[in-house]
Structure 1
């Protein structure tokens, strides 16, 4: 299974929420659209501890669809203990309390509808309650355990 999906490209997102101990976030390559009416997405996390556990417990969170400009940020949010939410990274906070990256290509503010345990992972279905469009850029994809930008001429 791992080998099969290692060569299957996936979009990259950073999912953030506010917890009792402060902002939390993680990088996800499992985000997909589920429905348009109501607007809904799905993603999975591999454990219910740390940032993933805080996102699973949150009443709302933001899914940032990022571009190649944010590949270093995606790497930071993919590694435990890396620097996150620094002023240099460009984070702000929405009036509703969630950490927000204004420079993201698109940010989807969501509320969870259902969380389904599947083995060591949890699949989350969430309603999109707000969409903030940012600056267009080259989408970032994850394939073969690395981040890659799609060709510039296609998305310029």
Structure 2
């Protein structure tokens, strides 16, 4: 295999937060919706930071920007769901990414699991989790969560967040092969 040298513009240097924002804005990430039930009602947020951590125990990680509002509700919940979204859910991912938007409406397809968490039907998978560890980093909190179980649905084309836009990726349904 050979690589072709490609000329590129002169590098532009950024410092600190601006460098991080620019670097990750141009790095595609999967999209998840994290939901929990609180005494004040259901809460949820869109996350592009969900990652697998390990299998013994089965664990994932994510980060939230602050420990208030929906993030605070999730951090204080005994358990929550991490829905791994696909291209069918771009509009709901956008709604849950904006504070004050209409959430958990009947037409969005919500129900509750027997354990109480708000569950978005028709998602590829929703992982039921509980927090194992948290680490404060400035105004953000990194969460390591144990995966307690999963609710699998049908698959569709993957969706990624890239340069502040949700994009659908090419996909071939494995059930049709």
Deviation, structure 1 residue 154: 7.3
Instruction: Give a deviation string over 1:52-84, Cα, whole Å, max 9, x none.
Output: 011011110000001101000000000001111
Aligned to 1:44: 63
Structure 1 CA distance, aligned partners of 2:171 and 2:63? 29
Aligned to 2:15: none
Query: Cα gap change, 1:154/1:7 in structure 2, threshold over 3 Å: closer, same or farther?
Result: farther
1:74 aligns with 2:121: no
Structure 2 CA distance, aligned partners of 1:45 and 1:149? 24
Structure 1 CA distance, aligned partners of 2:162 and 2:173? 19
Task: Report the RMSD for the aligned CA atoms in angstroms.
Answer: 1.2
Instruction: Give a deviation string over 1:61-110, Cα, whole Å, max 9, x none.
Output: 00000110100000000000111111100010000000001211110000
Structure 2 CA distance, aligned partners of 1:129 and 1:76? 27
TM-score (norm 1): 0.97
More strand by share: 1
Structure 1 unmatched ranges of 5 or more: none
Aligned to 1:130: 149
TM-score (norm 2): 0.85
Structure 1 CA distance, aligned partners of 2:140 and 2:160? 21
Of residues 74, 79, 96, the one that matches 1:55 is 74
Confirm or deny: 8 A CA contact 2:155 2:173 kept in the other structure: no
Structure 2 CA distance, aligned partners of 1:154 and 1:22? 36
Structure 2 unmatched ranges of 5 or more: 1-19
1:152 aligns with 2:171: yes
Structure 1 CA distance, aligned partners of 2:171 and 2:150? 24
Confirm or deny: 8 A CA contact 2:156 2:173 kept in the other structure: no
Moved over 6 A (4+): none
Q: Which structure would you say has the larger Rg?
A: 2
